[in-house]
A and B are shown apart, each in its own frame.
Chain A
Amino acid sequence: MNGEPEVHEEFEARLKAFEGRPAAATGVGRDPVNEPMIRHWCEAMGDTNPAYTGPDAIAPPTMLQAWTMAGLTRRPERTAAYDELLRLLDESGYDAVVATDCEQEYPRPLRPGDEITFDSVIESVSGLKTTKLGAGHFVTTRTDIRAGGELAGTHRFRILKYSPAHRPKDPTPGPAKEPRPRPVINRDNAGFWEGVARHELLIQRCTGCGDLRFPWLPGCNSCGCPEWDTVEASGEGTVYSYVVMHHPPFPAFTASDHAADAAGPYAVGLIELAEGVRIVSNVVGVPYDKVRIGMPVRLEFRRYDDALVLPVFQGVTR
């Protein structure tokens, strides 16, 4: 990236010069508004709104931008100015793109048969911004979408053209995911982990006095008897207490294990099982700030990597 402030000022002045210039001119929708594309959209979104089917169907309003998309074809409507702006950003290292904002207004509904035309203007190009993804420039465009010449929608769209902060050096294997710490398995708790491998959460039961105990111990806290057998937990429980871990971030414990790069806060729950004993585990499927004492949870076995399956608790929000 351009390190010298004066150099960057000059670069930003070049970017600013694109403001107000057209981004797309006399664009024509590849397809008229049509029932199959509406149906495919509703299928993907799980949207069963009857307004989008039948003889009086309208297109889902939020589908507005889809009617302007080029798919895998060239965009003949894209202006030289917009191409030039994107090329300038690409060549300066801001070659990755992500959409950040979408603001739409729907003055009139679109219906099957409507022929779409649109034009677009570069509204603004921001100065250099530092984001979690990397440093870059926001580019905002505004598009007017017409049906039969009549304004049907306006669409303000903002993208971030950025230089990725976490660009992998070797692109093939992807960033190595930080693995979760391994459990320490010994003679006293091996039976518990054998149960987990079979997707059974086993509670120890003293054969002397019948008391249930967890975590696993060599002897009974109540009567001292060393003999025991096990009871399989039903899997029902409630949050007895919890803490939210904010700092320091541990990518291995991020709530979404598929987004290991982003180590956000996560909830650690003390779960009281229906059988009466308590276990420390993660509460999953509920945002960390929505976990509450008394919240019902259900046992689930989650695979974290090739060698690690853990019992976790799915929050039951309703």
Chain B
Amino acid sequence: MNAGDRLPSLEIPITRTLIVAGAIASRDYQDVHHDPDLARQKGSPDIFMNILTTNGLVGRYITDHFGPGAVLRRVAIRLGAPNHPGDTMVLTGTVEEVVEEADGGTATVRVVGTNGIGKHVTGTVTVTVPAGAGTAPAPGGPS
């Protein structure tokens, strides 16, 4: 784990099912995350992913890579282009800084999630990785 390391990208198909399942799992019943007609009334072409799901996917991207021993300390994200059904989001990450500690290291990782219309999410994640935990190969996709 070194500054400048690039994480393998993770491609996430944005299905209607993922958007609705994420909204329900996060107890978010805002209509724009499940009702296309009401979403259109608010000027959106279709339903879109809620921020809690994006947050969960960013967390998963980091722990998939750094392994189950990795401890998330901080996740800060900003949303841009919405994730609508039928799109694909590709998450990429770059290690910006590593602070070595006696029993491991704490990394700041810059994360970007790009979809067909632009940058859906940009953010930074601070994660502590215990010594010897290494990096796990990323498991397969969600479906």
Chain A residues near B (Cβ < 8 Å) = 30, 37, 40-41, 43-51, 60-63, 65-66, 69-72, 96-106, 109, 133-134, 164-168, 171-172, 174-175, 177, 254-262, 264, 266, 284-287, 289-290, 317-318
Contacts and interface: CB of A to CB of B under 8 A. Distances in A.
Given A60-B59, A258-B86, A44 B41 contact: no
Chain B binding surface SS class: mixed
B74 A62 contact: no
B99 interface: no
A254 B46 CA distance: 15
Contact of A261 (B45, B50, B72, B76): B45
Contacts of A37: 25
A39 B83 CA distance: 23
B51 interface: yes
Given A62-B58, A99-B50, A174-B37, A287 B90 contact: yes
Contacts of A61: 59, 72, 75
B68 interface: yes
B5 to A, nearest CB: 17
Interface string B68-84: 11011111111101101
Contact of A258 (B26, B27, B45, B60): B45
B24 interface: yes
A259 B84 contact: yes
A286 B57 contact: no
B94 interface: no
A51 B118 contact: no
Contact of A164 (B43, B74, B85, B88): B43
B94 to A, nearest CB: 14
B6 to A, nearest CB: 13
Contacts of A96: 42-43
18 contacts: A30-B27, A37-B25, A43-B25, A45-B22, A46-B141, A51-B68, A62-B72, A65-B26, A66-B25, A72-B29, A96-B43, A103-B76, A109-B71, A254-B117, A258-B86, A259-B81, A285-B88, A318-B8
B142 interface: yes
A256 B75 CA distance: 27
B2 interface: no
A171 B53 contact: no
Contacts of A48: 139
B105 to A, nearest CB: 17
Contacts of B78: 100-101
B79 A101 contact: yes
A264 B114 CA distance: 12
A44 B25 contact: yes
B88 to A, nearest CB: 5
Interface string B31-51: 010001100111111100011
Contacts of A106: 72-74
Nearest to B9: A317
Given A41-B56, A71-B29, A258-B86, A99 B51 contact: yes
Given A71-B27, A171-B40, 7 more contacts: A45-B53, A46-B12, A47-B59, A71-B29, A103-B74, A134-B43, A260-B45
B85 A264 contact: no
A258 B87 contact: yes
B73 A105 contact: yes
Contacts of A167: 41-43
B135 interface: no
B140 to A, nearest CB: 9
